[in-house]
Chains A and B, each alone.
Chain A
Amino acid sequence: MADIFNYSVAINTGKGFITHGDRRKFWLRGYPASVWVATDGQESRLWVARNNGTTKTKDEAQALVTAEVEAYQATYDALSAEEKEVRQRPETVTLP
């Protein structure tokens, strides 16, 4: 069975990185560590290529996200009580 999603790392270059048309063509969501998950298909693969992205396996992408979230959890744990009042400790992110 074909994969439902494709996984990539692509640096958001700003305007034009994701267009309104892209959003209408396929589902896409960004995660920490510049990881992107999209419904797999020609359009989303072209989007990865257009943005000079690097295709990853799901495990590779998950490892990148987990490492960044854990680093951020450590940052949060070091905050003062006042700073923690208006922020949440990041939860582990599980890619679809």
Chain B
Amino acid sequence: MAEYKVIKGRRVQSLASDAPTTQLGQVWYNSTSGAYKSVVGAAAWSSGGNMVTPSAGSMGGAGTQTSAIVMATGASASSTYSYDGSSWTSSPSLSQNQTIGSGGGASNTSAIYCGGYTGPPAYVAMSTVEEYNGVAWTTNPTGLNAIRKGQGGAGLTTEAVWVAGGSAPVTAISSSETFNGSTWTTSPGAMNSGRQLMAAAGSSTAGVVAGGQIPPPYTAYALTETFDGSSWTVANVLNQNRKFPRGNGTQTAAAAYGGNSAPPTSIYDDTELWDGTSWTTSANMATPRDQFGSAVTATQMTALACGGETPSSTDATEELGLVNTVETVTTS
């Protein structure tokens, strides 16, 4: 077996106590505990700034952990809120009440909100698409080709947003659509399992959806499907059946977190990380939640979870990040 010095070109230091956590990847031998140690990056959720008001309702989301916007926040279904990585502020309202639609876009000044239903008092599924330029929301002249609510959707920019699945009025939809900034195109291939209330991440040519439910009877699923812009492929399932999860990242590095189970309802706090092939369980949020918002454009390890039901509505925000920590190294 090769020695560490041969592999790395240097010896392992022997220290009486653990080294500082500032040097990611540093390896040493702790002579007090008699164990090899290293600094590794571990995922953890921490508190972000509280939302303006407790909010739930499967918000649409766009942007990143430091420049996010969530739309159709349930408590007031036309309201939107922006986040700068520290605090939330009220943003201009959508043109009408909407809920359980999907979002996309790069930041809190460039976002899009698609579909959903009209909310109180009508509850009619919609094809409406609204775009935000940092100043105001405007209704896009071209709506979705199909009315849908509860669909998955994401998009790194407002010119490359996609939506998939959903339901209308209670029948599951398997079609998907991509946006080029002016018109929507229905993809040739349909999802293998039409459903709603999934986690979604990625671009209009490399997307991924996971979890969700099929109405009725509203059972939670662990199904994962990937999208290449025209067709859908079934992939390895989540470790946990979940509906109402939220997601972010890319088709090869995504995160899905929270959500709930089929009745009897358990609300989840856990996170699963997708590497393009399979899901791995990762850090837990401090507050289990479903029907919450996220920043869908954020990278895998900079997820944002805001609001939601715990089951009462919460204003709490959490931010995923990597924290350096000392771990014992297994040697053979």
Contact = CB atoms under 8 A, between A and B. Distances in A.
Contact of B310 (A31, A82, A91): A31
B45 interface: yes
A92 to B, nearest CB: 9
B47 A18 contact: yes
Interface string A10-43: 0011111111111110001111110000000000
A86 interface: yes
Interface stretch (B4-12, B227-235, B262-270): B262-270
A85 interface: yes
A17 B265 contact: no
A90 B265 contact: yes
Interface string B99-129: 1100000000000000001000001000000
B286 A29 contact: yes
A62 to B, nearest CB: 15
B312 A12 contact: no
A14 B50 contact: yes
Contact of B47 (A17, A69, A82, A85): A17
B139 interface: no
Interface residues of B, number: 45
B316 A86 contact: no
Interface residues of A, number: 34
Interface in B230-274: 260, 263-266, 269
B269 A29 contact: yes
B48 A30 contact: no
Given A30-B316, A88-B260, A23 B286 contact: yes
Contacts of A30: 286-288, 310, 316
Contacts of B123: 80, 82-83
A14 B286 contact: no
Contact of A14 (B47, B149, B311, B312): B47
Contacts of A17: 47
Contact of B311 (A21, A23, A90): A90
Contacts of A90: 265, 309, 311
B44 interface: yes
B150 interface: yes
B205 interface: no
A72 interface: yes
Contact of B49 (A15, A28, A71): A15
Interface in B45-82: 45-50, 58
A20 B323 contact: yes
Contact of B46 (A19, A80, A83, A87): A19
Given A86-B100, A86-B150, A19 B311 contact: no
B291 A87 contact: yes
A28 B48 contact: no
A14 B310 contact: no
B46 A86 contact: no
B86 A15 contact: yes
13 contacts: A12-B315, A15-B47, A17-B47, A19-B47, A23-B286, A28-B286, A30-B310, A71-B312, A86-B197, A87-B309, A88-B260, A88-B263, A89-B265
Report, nearest first, the 8 A-B pairs whose CB atoms are least far apart.
A90-B311, A82-B123, A30-B287, A23-B44, A17-B47, A20-B323, A88-B265, A14-B50
Given A14-B317, A88-B263, 19 more contacts: A13-B50, A14-B47, A14-B48, A14-B49, A15-B86, A15-B87, A16-B47, A17-B47, A19-B47, A23-B45, A23-B286, A29-B286, A30-B287, A30-B316, A83-B123, A86-B150, A90-B309, A91-B263, A91-B266
Interface of B: 42, 44-50, 58, 86-87, 99-100, 117, 123, 149-150, 170, 197, 215, 218, 260, 263-266, 269, 283-284, 286-288, 290-291, 309-312, 315-318, 321, 323, 325
